[in-house]
Chain A
Amino acid sequence: MSASSKLVGQGPEILDAERLGKPASLWRTTARRLFQRRSAILGMLILGGLLILATFAPWIAPYAPDEVLIGTEDVKRREGPCIHLLGCPEDRPQHLMGIDGNVRDQFSRVVYGSRYSLVIGFVTVGIAIIIGTLLGALAGYFRGLVDNLIMRVMDVLLAFPSLLLAIAIVAVLGPGLINALLAIAVVTIPAYARVMRASVLSVKETDFVSASRALGAGTARILFGSILPNAMTPLIVLGTLEIASAILSAAALSFLGLGAQPPTPEWGSMLGSERNQVFTAPHLVFFPGLAITLTVLGFNLLGDGLRDALDPRLGRGTKIEVV
């Protein structure tokens, strides 16, 4: 995309931002647009709530996540929720989400689970972005054999359904949360590599890159100083949306017993270990699943909002609303 064609069809606010030449104003525009979208605000609220849960888990959760209540309280295994506000007798101990199969407070476990989901999302996407961006940048910058080699490997990775490939990788590395994260990171690398390569290809030929080459900048400096900052926008959008799917995949792996292992209070693993009880104790399946759904929804809403706010060319829906 050349600079001239980029100006066509964009709102006046972008034109101003580009004329001023201050990158900060683009970010301010982005932030303003983000806060104009109700769905993006909802996404941020959900994620903000999640962040509070994760940070203050020890104060919010009434019990420790692995505290077995046998002997300390008069509760039964897989007992349903007891909420005082909803008519549960005051003399019974309150358990908002009931008791799990090992007589632990389900609510406390769900609260602590928020820590895992956030870490899973950011770590996998972090690894995938770093490796994917690097591979894509190398492929796009050097072209030729390097490009062919890297992109054909990416093609092979993309030819597998990602969850199946992740299962196979975990099988090689051995079950466990860390290995599950690595597997999910590996299967998402091709997406970043492709996006980065495309960006590099389009930015590489621009005048400012030629200018910096003429000034004697080395390959690394051109790649990371000139090209990368200009290719960041699609990466940020993709990253936010990929956090959502990374959390879903990690939960799926844990559900299958390949990711986080019990007694870790990870939502997918909690769901997996109680899945045969869905008819007898549906609350043990319902709440962890609801937590996953809300978290993923938060990242999806924020990602959609960011995409529309950062790149008006992609967000057709917004364009009509803005005009």
Chain B
Amino acid sequence: MFSYIARRLIYSIPVLIGIMIVVFLLARLIPGDPCTAILGEKATPEACARYNAAQGLDKPITTQFLIYMGNVLKGDFGNSIRFSRPVTQVLVERLPTTIELSMGALMLAVIVGIPAGVLAAMRHNSPTDVATMVGANIGVSMPVFWLGLMLEYLFGLVLKDTPLWLPPTGRLSAGLASVPFFEAYGWAVTEGTATYKVLEFFSNFYIFNSIITGDWEVLNDAVRHLILPSLALATIPLAIIARMTRSSLLDVLGREYVRAAKAKGVPHRTVIAKHALRNALLPVVTIIGLSLGGLLGGAVLTETIFGLSGVGRAVYEAITARDYPIIQAFTVVIAVGYVLVNLIVDVSYTYLDPRVRLE
């Protein structure tokens, strides 16, 4: 098992280097140069030459890439051209927003999608089944940005003076602040150190942070803010998971061991829960892993609509502003996350299906 994980990690290195090369080249192929983007009117050839020399942009592109790789291995992603701050700092601030959003969406998709699929399969060809599948088909067909805007309109305006009202934008209401847990507990950490950055990173998960500090008002507010964007982002994976669960369970229910279990008098529910579902979940887990890429892509749109400053929106804005370091670092982080999640999915097979041996 461990040798398998180690080998998979080693195999993913060429892919990750490939990703870094692609991103590095793509970033440099974007028309326009950072010098004019940053200096604007003042960008005389001399000023640009000075600027490029200071940023290392005057060296040959291969040298630039090697220097960049060396720095990345040291954990240094450089400074954001647009924010003039270390890229890691921007990551610390923005990554938690996106992870919180994606986790919220994924949880919603799994918690609603799997039972919906099971229900549809158990009542195959019944109105419940048809309704679920019609719903799932519509779900995969809706553009995330349209659904998001419609949810904003429905919950933010139409239901305004009802208990169902939900805040349409942002992560917290005005006037509320999430106090980082390490400050709330009065831990002595110096700003700027690696420890501080790690603690700050975790404290930017508002829900996690408010649970730890026991700040129920912030928790309630943060959860309410998360519902609409999660709902918008969850719809497509939810529909896919429901469909996959249904078809996979239907397939398994026709197998002989299920018939055998029924024949020996195992109650219907137990057959479904213990014999069928566990076997049916294998392809569902694959789909969950694969939908993560879609979630991150959808995060660009969801974050734009719901005014959340997360990674997806940061990449989009960095591309339009030619902020190379941000584009490079964030894309690499996303790709690494993607590779890791797929590894976790593969490893989880062994728990779901003991016949699967990882070699």
Contact = CB atoms under 8 A, between A and B. Distances in A.
A287 to B, nearest CB: 10
B305 interface: yes
B315 interface: yes
A179 B115 CA distance: 41
Interface in B103-139: 124-125, 133, 137-138
B304 A256 contact: yes
Interface centre among A39, A159, A172 (most CB of B within 10 A): A159
Range class of the B interface residue count: 35 or more
Interface string A278-318: 11001001101100111011001100100000000000110
Chain A interface SS verdict (over half):
helix
Given A300-B141, A320-B250, A271 B22 contact: no
Contact of A164 (B145, B251, B297): B297
Interface stretch (B72-80, B201-209, B332-340): B332-340
B87 interface: no
Interface string A208-248: 00000000000000000000000000000000000010001
A293 B141 contact: yes
B30 A164 contact: no
Contacts, number: 144
A128 to B, nearest CB: 17
Contact of B22 (A156, A161, A316): A156
Contacts of B137: 39, 297, 300-301, 304
B320 interface: yes
A136 interface: no
A163 interface: yes
Interface residues of A, number: 46
B31 A174 contact: yes
A160 B330 CA distance: 11
Interface in B303-348: 304-305, 312, 315-316, 319-320, 327, 331, 334-335, 338-339
A163 B19 CA distance: 15
Contacts of A248: 141, 143
A94 interface: no
Given A161-B334, A289-B149, A297-B137, A169 B315 contact: no
Contacts of A285: 146, 149-150, 153
B305 A297 contact: no
Interface string B147-165: 1011011001100000000
A153 interface: yes
Interface in B271-327: 293-298, 300-301, 304-305, 312, 315-316, 319-320, 327
Interface string A92-136: 000000000000000000000000000000000000000000000
23 contacts: A156-B19, A159-B19, A159-B335, A160-B331, A160-B334, A161-B295, A167-B316, A167-B319, A168-B26, A168-B27, A252-B145, A255-B145, A256-B300, A272-B145, A275-B145, A278-B150, A279-B156, A289-B143, A289-B150, A292-B143, A296-B140, A297-B141, A321-B125
Interface of A: 39, 152-153, 155-156, 159-164, 167-169, 171-172, 174, 244, 248, 251-252, 255-256, 268, 271-272, 275, 278-279, 282, 285-286, 288-289, 292-294, 296-297, 300-301, 304, 316-317, 320-321
Interface of B: 14-16, 18-19, 22-23, 26-27, 29-31, 124-125, 133, 137-138, 140-147, 149-150, 152-153, 156-157, 246-248, 250-251, 254, 293-298, 300-301, 304-305, 312, 315-316, 319-320, 327, 331, 334-335, 338-339
